[in-house]
Each structure stands twice: as C-alpha cells, then as structure tokens.
Amino acid sequence: MNKKTIGLFIAVAALFAVIGVAVGNQRNQAQSAKPNAVERLYAQSLTDAGGTPQKLSQWKGKPLVVNFWATWCAPCVEEMPELSALQKELAGTQAQIIGIGIDSPSNIRDFAAKYQISYPLYIGGMEASELSRQLGNQAGGLPFTVLIREDGSIRKTFLGRLKMTELRAELARR
C-alpha cells in the first residue's frame, strides 16, 4: 500500500468513527416530550410504597425531579442513595425528588423497606414506561430522570445513570 491509500483508509475510518459516536450519543439522549406530557404526569394517581394512593398533582407548582427506575436496574439502584442524600440536602427548597417504579408493587415495597429512601416512591408498574416515553424517553431505557420547572415545563431530561455533579449544577441554575 502506498501513502495515499493509507491516508484515504485512515480518513474513511475516522469518518465512520465520528458517525458512530454521533449516532451513539443521539441514542443515549432523551427525545422531546409529547405535548401535555407533564399535565398527564400530574393527572396520575399512583400508590406509594406504603400502599396509599397519591395524586401526583400535589407536586404541581413546585420544581420536581422525576426519576423512573426499577429494582432490577443496577444503575437505578446505584444512583438512589445519592438521590436520597440530595433530597435531604434540598429539603424541599430547590426541588422535590420523586421516584416512579416500573416494577411490581411487591418488589417496590420490599425495596423501599430495605433501603429507606428519603423521597417518595410510587408504584407505576409497566404502564409507567409509557409515561416516561411521553416525557421524552423514546428509547425506553432506565433510569430516566426528568427535571420539571415550577411552571410545568420540562427543563432537562437524563437517560442513564445520573452524574450528581451535573444534576446539582442544573438544579442550582434558576
């Protein structure tokens, strides 16, 4: 092979690498939410981990961090103690964190009893995966986290395990 052929080969390989990275990043980013998705969220009545039905409209008008998770999702379980610690720090000042479990009621109740999470956990079941899709989780991946402003608009979404420094920085911005 001559130098020209090697150079062309390297250029084509680099082009494919750039395309691969761009496609991979696009897949890991949440897509735009459907119109009225936050209103549909607030219209939900879900049972909390203690077995009491709760209206999500109770969070309307407050900054909200909605974390979709499952007990079988390792990254979800890994980030929950950090979210729990963050909720204790926030103490309702900057935002309220809530978790919506895409899992069975018994799994969520057992998990809540074992780990003592400091923010409300709701039982969404498999139907909650559709709600997460409406909020921008087209890939259907977990964990999926949505930051909602006081006015009900979506501020930011995160697909995959949260980086707490990024979440804290986002919450600190007004």
Q: How many independent structural domains does the chain possess?
A: 2
Q: Read off the pTM.
A: 0.81
Span 145-170, pLDDT tens digits: 999 999 999 999 999 999 999 999 99
Question: Is the same domain home to 81 and 2?
Answer: no
Same domain, 47 and 120: yes
Q: 100 with 122: CB under 8 angstroms?
A: yes
How far apart (Å, rounded) are the C-alpha atoms in residues 169 and 165? 6
CATH of the domain at 115: 3.40.30.10
Same domain, 40 and 14: no
Residue 174 is predicted with a pLDDT of 66
| 157 and 135 Cβ atoms separated by less than 8 Å | yes
| Domain interval for residue 97 | 33-172
Work out the burial of residue 40: count CB atoms within 10 Å of its CB; fewer than 13 is exposed, 13-18 middle, 19 or more buried: middle
State whether 51 and 99 are in the same domain: yes
Residue 92: its pLDDT value, please?
A: 64
Residues of the chain where predicted confidence (pLDDT) is lower than 50:
7-9, 11-29
Model pLDDT, residue 12: 44
